[in-house]
Amino acid sequence: MNDSLIIQPFSKPVSGSVQLPGSKSITNRTLALAAISGSKVTLEGALFSEDTRIMVDSLQKLGFSVQDDETAKSITIEGRSGTIPNAEAELYVGNAGTAARFLTALLCLRDGGCYDLDGSPAMRERPMRGLLDALEKHGACKVTYKGKDGHFPFTLETKGLSGGYLEVDASASSQILSALLIVAPLAEGEPLIVNILGETVSHPFIDMTLGMMEQFGEDPEIGGHTGPFKFRCGPYTAPGASYQIEPDATAASYFMALPWVVGGELLLPKCGHIELQGDIRFLDVLGQLGGSFDEESGTLQVKYPHRLIDGFTQNFNPISDTFLTLAALSPLLNTELTITGIAHTRKQETDRIAAMATELEKLGQNVTETEDSLTVHPDVEAMIALTKDAPLGIDTYHDHRVAMSFGILGCYDLHGDGRPWLEIHNPACCAKTFPNFFDVLESLRS
Ligand SMILES: O=C(O)C1=C[C@@H](OP(=O)(O)O)[C@@H](O)[C@H](O)C1
Ligand SMILES: C=C(OP(=O)(O)O)C(=O)O
C-alpha cells in the first residue's frame, strides 16, 4: 500500500453488505484460553491481522502446536493443560496490548522459565507495571527491566503461579486484570483470589473475559463481575471442537457510521448476534444521531431516516475504542461534542486524545482537551476553506483507529462536486486489526 491514500468521497448513498473481520479481543482470548486448556480447538471466523499474528507466532515459539489457514479464517491450537512447553523464548509483542498482557501472565505458569519480551516503540511506553508488580509481589516471577522500569523490554524469570491472595491495580488498562483472571484458575494448591485496587477502565472487556472463562468451564465463586474473584483450580475445557469468533464490533463502528456520513444503508452480517463485545453499544450513540437498526437472522441493518446533527456529551469509558469513530465525524455535527472518560487512551497506540485534537484542529475545528476529555466545536466552513485547493493530509501516528475514523470522514462529499479533500498518511497501519479496511471501503463505493 502507498504511504498515503487520497479518499474519494461517495457521490451517492451507500448500499450493500460488509464482511467484517473476526474480533481481535475474542481471537486473542480464545488462543490464550485454549493454549492452557486440556482441549484441541479450532477457531472459526478468526481475525488474521498483526495483533493475532503476534499471538500465534508467540505461542508457536513457546512450543504450542498452532496451525492456521488464513483463507478459511481458521486457527487450530492444542491446549497443554496449563503447561508452557518451552522454558526459554524471545517474544516480540509489537503494539498488541492483548498479546503483551495475556502472554506475560501465561508465562508465569511455568516454574523455572526465562523469557525475553519486547514490543514496538509505542508499546515500550504502554502500561505494564500493574500486571508485573502484581505477579512479582505474588512470587510468580522476577522481572529485570532492560529499559525504563515498569515497561518493555524486560526479562521474566518465572516461578509458577500459586494460589492465595493477589491484588492488582488495573486502572491503566483492563487488559491487566483480564490477563490475571485468565491464568487464575491454573494456580497451584489453594485457589487464587484476585482483588482489584481502585477503578478499572473499559469494564465490558472484563465481562468479556469472565464470559469466555465461563464458556471454557470456569465460573467465579464470589464477588460477581466486580470482584474479588475466586476460581476453582484446574485447566479449562473448551466448549467444543470448534469455537466461532464474533465479527469485530469496533471494526463494525466505522461501517455503522458510514451511512450517517454519506446516506444510504448497510447490512452487517452476524452483527445482530454480538454478545461478548461491549463496543456493539456504539449503536446507542448512533441512535442519538438518528440511526435506525433492524436485525434479521443476525444481520444488522443500519440506516439514518433522520440525519440528526445535534451534538452531545457522552462518557466513552466503556467503549473507548469507538470514541475516535465519533470524534472524526464531529466536524459534520452542528453543535458541540464532548467525549469524556478517555484518559486511559492517552497510553494506547498513541496519545489518542492528543492525536484526534491535532488532526481536527488541522481541519479548522475548535478543540479543547482535558486529561480525560475532548470537546469539539464544529466548523464545517473552516474545513471547506482549508481543503478547497488540495486534499489535506491526516497523520495517523501508527494508530489504526485514527486512520479508519478519518477514512470514513473523507467519504463525505464536502465540496459537493465529488472532489477528494482528505488524504490518509500511512493507511497500512490498519493492519493491526483490519488489514483490508480501505479495500472494503472501496468495494462499497463501486
Ligand atoms: O481486553 C481487550 O481485548 C481490550 C481492552 C481494551 O483495552 P484497555 O482496557 O487498555 O482500554 C481495548 O481498548 C482494547 O482494544 C482491547
Ligand atoms: C487499544 C487497542 O488495542 P490494544 O489491544 O493494543 O490495546 C485498540 O485496538 O484500539
Q: What is the mean pLDDT of residues 89-98?
A: 98
User: Do both 173 and 256 map to the same domain?
Assistant: no
CA 256/CA 226 separation, integer angstroms: 31
CB neighbours (10 Å) of residue 371?
8
Q: What is the mean pLDDT of residues 360-382?
A: 97
**Ligand that lies nearest to the alpha carbon of residue 99, given by its number in the listed order:** 2
| Residue 98 in domain | yes
User: Do both 298 and 349 map to the same domain?
Assistant: yes
CA 183/CA 29 separation, integer angstroms: 11
Confidence category of residue 199, pLDDT binned at 50, 70, 90:
confident
User: Do both 282 and 407 map to the same domain?
Assistant: yes
The CB of 201 under 6 Å from ligand 1? The reply is: yes
133 vs 298, residue with greater confidence: 133
Confidence category of residue 309, pLDDT binned at 50, 70, 90:
low
Please give the DSSP secondary-structure letter assigned to residue 11: S
Q: What is the mean pLDDT of residues 332-350?
A: 95
CA 25/CA 433 separation, integer angstroms: 10
Query: Domains in the chain: how many in total?
Result: 2
| Residue 152 in domain | yes
Confidence category of residue 168, pLDDT binned at 50, 70, 90:
very high
Report the binding-site residues: 24-25, 29, 97, 126, 173-175, 202, 321, 348, 352, 401, 432
User: Do both 418 and 363 map to the same domain?
Assistant: yes
Lowest mean pLDDT among 31-45, 99-113, 196-210, 418-432: 196-210
Asked whether residue 2 carries a pLDDT value surpassing 80, the answer given is no
Q: Which of 195, 229, 263 is the last residue of a domain?
A: 229
Q: What is the mean pLDDT of residues 350-356?
A: 98
User: Do both 372 and 254 map to the same domain?
Assistant: yes
pLDDT at 293: 86
pLDDT at 436: 98
pLDDT at 298: 85
| Residue 55 in domain | no
Active site residues: 321
The CB of 39 under 6 Å from ligand 1? The reply is: no
Gap from CA of 125 to ligand 2 centroid (Å): 14
Asked whether residue 219 carries a pLDDT value surpassing 80, the answer given is no
| Residue 170 in domain | yes
The CB of 253 under 6 Å from ligand 2? The reply is: no
The CB of 348 under 6 Å from ligand 2? The reply is: yes
pLDDT at 222: 61
pLDDT at 235: 86
Lowest mean pLDDT among 233-237, 312-316, 373-377: 233-237
Q: Which of 9, 8, 18, 13 lies closest to 307, judged by CA?
A: 13
Gap from CA of 297 to ligand 2 centroid (Å): 30
CB neighbours (10 Å) of residue 326?
27
**Ligand that lies nearest to the alpha carbon of residue 203, given by its number in the listed order:** 1
Which ligand 2 atom is the nearest neighbour of the CA of 320?
10
User: Do both 217 and 307 map to the same domain?
Assistant: no
199 vs 428, residue with greater confidence: 428
Confidence category of residue 110, pLDDT binned at 50, 70, 90:
very high
Lowest mean pLDDT among 10-14, 63-67, 181-185, 299-303: 299-303
CA 435/CA 244 separation, integer angstroms: 20
Q: Which of 389, 397, 331, 327 lies closest to 364, judged by CA?
A: 331
User: Do both 283 and 191 map to the same domain?
Assistant: no
H helix or E strand, kind and range, residue 106: helix 97-107
CB neighbours (10 Å) of residue 17?
12
Three-point CA angle 346, 352, 358, nearest 5°: 120
Minimum CA distance residue for ligand 2 atom 8: 321
| Residue 424 in domain | yes
Which ligand 1 atom is the nearest neighbour of the CA of 170?
9
> What is the residue range of 143's domain?
83-229
User: Do both 274 and 419 map to the same domain?
Assistant: yes
Q: What is the mean pLDDT of residues 150-156?
A: 98
User: Do both 393 and 264 map to the same domain?
Assistant: yes
CA 401/CA 409 separation, integer angstroms: 12
Displacement of CA 44 from its chain's centroid (Å) = 19
Grid coordinates representing 258 are: 458510514
Q: Which of 196, 229, 262 is the last residue of a domain?
A: 229
CA 58/CA 56 separation, integer angstroms: 5
Tell me the best of 321, 322, 372 to mutate to test the pocket of ligand 1, counting ligand atoms within 8 Å of each CB and taking the most: 321
In single-letter form, the type of residue at position 281 comes to R
| Residue 62 in domain | no
Domain at 406, CATH number: 3.65.10.10
Q: How high does pLDDT run on average in the chain?
A: 95
Report the binding-site residues for 3-phosphoshikimate: 24-25, 29, 173-175, 202, 321, 348
Give SS3 for 80: coil
Which ligand 2 atom is the nearest neighbour of the CA of 173?
7
Q: Which of 68, 11, 61, 59 lies closest to 37, judged by CA?
A: 59
User: Do both 211 and 318 map to the same domain?
Assistant: no
Q: Could you tell me whether strands 66-69 and 74-78 are parallel, antiparallel, or unpaired per DSSP bridges? A: antiparallel
Grid coordinates representing 422 are: 482528505
**Ligand that lies nearest to the alpha carbon of residue 27, given by its number in the listed order:** 1
Q: What is the mean pLDDT of residues 44-57?
A: 98
Q: Which of 229, 264, 291 is the last residue of a domain?
A: 229
User: Do both 185 and 274 map to the same domain?
Assistant: no
Tell me the best of 321, 347, 350, 404 to mutate to test the pocket of ligand 2, counting ligand atoms within 8 Å of each CB and taking the most: 321
The interface predicted TM-score of the complex, written ipTM, equals 0.99
Q: What is the mean pLDDT of residues 246-271?
A: 95
Is residue 54 within 8 A of residue 94, CB to CB? The reply is: yes
Which ligand 2 atom is the nearest neighbour of the CA of 100?
6
Q: What is the mean pLDDT of residues 351-380?
A: 97
Q: What is the mean pLDDT of residues 162-168?
A: 95
Cis peptide before 228 (omega within 30 of 0): yes
Q: Which of 174, 96, 99, 108 lies closest to 135, judged by CA?
A: 108
Confidence category of residue 281, pLDDT binned at 50, 70, 90:
very high
Cα first-last separation, the chain: 19
Asked whether residue 310 carries a pLDDT value surpassing 70, the answer given is no
User: Do both 201 and 264 map to the same domain?
Assistant: no
pLDDT at 224: 63
Is residue 283 within 8 A of residue 256, CB to CB? The reply is: yes
Q: Quick one: CA torsion of 31, 35, 39, 45, rounded to 10 degrees?
A: 10
Asked whether residue 91 carries a pLDDT value surpassing 90, the answer given is yes
Is residue 13 within 8 A of residue 264, CB to CB? The reply is: yes
Residue bearing cell 515498569: 150
Is residue 134 within 8 A of residue 165, CB to CB? The reply is: no
Q: What is the mean pLDDT of residues 113-126?
A: 98
The CB of 49 under 6 Å from ligand 1? The reply is: no
Burial of residue 404 (CB within 10 Å: 0-12, 13-18, 19+) is buried
Report the binding-site residues for phosphoenolpyruvate: 24, 97, 126, 175, 352, 401, 432
